[in-house]
Amino acid sequence: MSSLSPNVLLLEQTNQLKGLFSIIRSKDTHRSDFVFYSDRIIRLLVEKGLEQLPVETHDVQTPLDVTYEGVKFLGKICGVSIVRAGESMEQGLRDCCRSVRIGKILIQRDEETALPKLFYEKLPEDISDRYVFLLDPMLATGGSAILATEVLISRGVKPERIFFLNLLAAPEGIVAYHDKFPNIKIITGGIDPKLDAKKRIEPGVGDFGDRYYSI
């Protein structure tokens, strides 16, 4: 994309990140390495998401009895994964946020209409009071993410409290998602050039869920 919306937060494209993506993009990478290096990217995404949360001043005393002028986060967070690939990102969130609540949304394509259809949701009862990290590793067409976000908003979550985390995004998905939700921040590890004829991110990583979970 020639120019990014202020609400698209792209991880800094360092050599380290490019190296991680080179590993998970390769068709020759074994599952154990795919999982390990994907998890490293996921951790970077979660840390970037946490940077977006509001804070307030919070001073503490160090062991030297010196005041440190710090901050603390405001509000509660939770993660919501779009099953099943999104579940791969849950541990990365737990690694950064102890005892974080996790919700799940299952969306599948309707065989008759070819449109995404909600099959299952399980969300924290107080989700409307939380900041929500929506988790799905691939943003391709945006159909599933849009439906999942509509579910969150129907449960009272304010759009400005939703952060959509993904490893890779296609320009078509970003445009479709922000046409519906321009105020929601997309936090992504990379933006690939396009979707192919089968609506897969190209060059992409293949089917992320299959590669992450297959034995």
Q: Give me the active site residues, please.
A: 109, 113, 207, 210
Which pair of structure tokens corresponds to residue 132? Answer: 């929500």
Q: Which residues pair with 102 in a beta bridge?
A: 79
Q: Which residues are CB-contacts of 70 (< 8 A; sequence separation ≥ 6)?
A: 57, 58, 59, 60
Cβ atoms within 10 Å of 12's Cβ, excluding its own? 8
Query: What is the largest distance, in Å, between two alpha-carbon atoms of the chain?
Result: 68
CA distance 38 to 138: 12
Q: Identify the CA nearest to 82 among candidates 34, 144, 143.
A: 144
Copy the structure tokens of residue 38.
Answer: 């994907």
